[in-house]
Amino acid sequence: MAVATTAPPLTPEDRQSVWRTLRTPRLLRTEVLAGLVVALALIPEAIAFSLIAGVDPRIGLFASFTMAVSIAFLGGRPAMISAATAATALVIAPLVASHGIDYFIAAVILAGIFQVVLGVLGVAKLMRFIPRSVMVGFVNALAILIFTSQLPELIGVPWLVYPMVAVGLVIIFLLPRITRAVPAPLVAIVVVTAAAVVLAITVPTVGDKGELPESLPSLFFPNVPLTLETFQIIAPFAAGMAVVGLMESLMTAKLVDDVTDTRSNKTRESWGQGTANIITGFFGGMGGCAMVGQTMINVKASGARTRISTFMAGLFVLILVVALGDVVALIPMAALVAVMIFVSIATFDWHSIQPGTLRRMPKSETTVMLGTVIVTVWTHNLAIGVIVGVLVAMVAFARRVAHFVTVERTVEEHFGVPVAKYEVSGELFFASSNDLYTQFDYAEDPDTIVIDMYGSHLWDASTIAALDAITAKYDSYGKSVQIEGLNTASLAIRERLGGHLGGGH
Please tell me the predicted confidence (pLDDT) of residue 504: 44
Pairing of strands 417-428, 448-458: parallel
Q: C-alpha angle with apex 90: 84 to 91, nearest 5 degrees?
A: 100
Q: How many residues does the chain have?
A: 505
Please tell me the predicted confidence (pLDDT) of residue 505: 45
Task: Please state whether the predicted TM-score (pTM) of the whole model is above 0.85.
Answer: no
Please tell me the predicted confidence (pLDDT) of residue 174: 92
Greatest distance between any 2 Cα atoms in the chain: 104
Cα–Cα distance between 192 and 167 in angstroms, integer? 8
Please tell me the predicted confidence (pLDDT) of residue 253: 92
Please tell me the predicted confidence (pLDDT) of residue 300: 87
- CA dihedral (22, 24, 28, 31) in degrees, to 10, reads -100
What is the residue type of 284?
G
Residue 193 phi, psi (nearest 5): -65, -45
Cα–Cα distance between 26 and 22 in angstroms, integer? 9
Residue 7 burial by Cβ neighbours in a 10 Å radius (0-12, 13-18, 19+): exposed
- Which of 282, 246, 274, 250 is CA-nearest to residue 91? 246
Pairing of strands 406-414, 289-290: unpaired
Please tell me the predicted confidence (pLDDT) of residue 3: 52
Residue 262 burial by Cβ neighbours in a 10 Å radius (0-12, 13-18, 19+): middle
Q: Give the relative orientation of helices 25-53 and 86-99 as an angle to the nearest 10 degrees.
A: 40
Q: Could you write out the three-class secondary structure of 60-81?
A: HHHHHHHHHHHHHHHCCCCCCC
Q: For the chain, which ranges sit under pLDDT 70?
A: 1-7, 51-52, 502-505
pLDDT, averaged across the chain = 88
Cα–Cα distance between 170 and 43 in angstroms, integer? 23
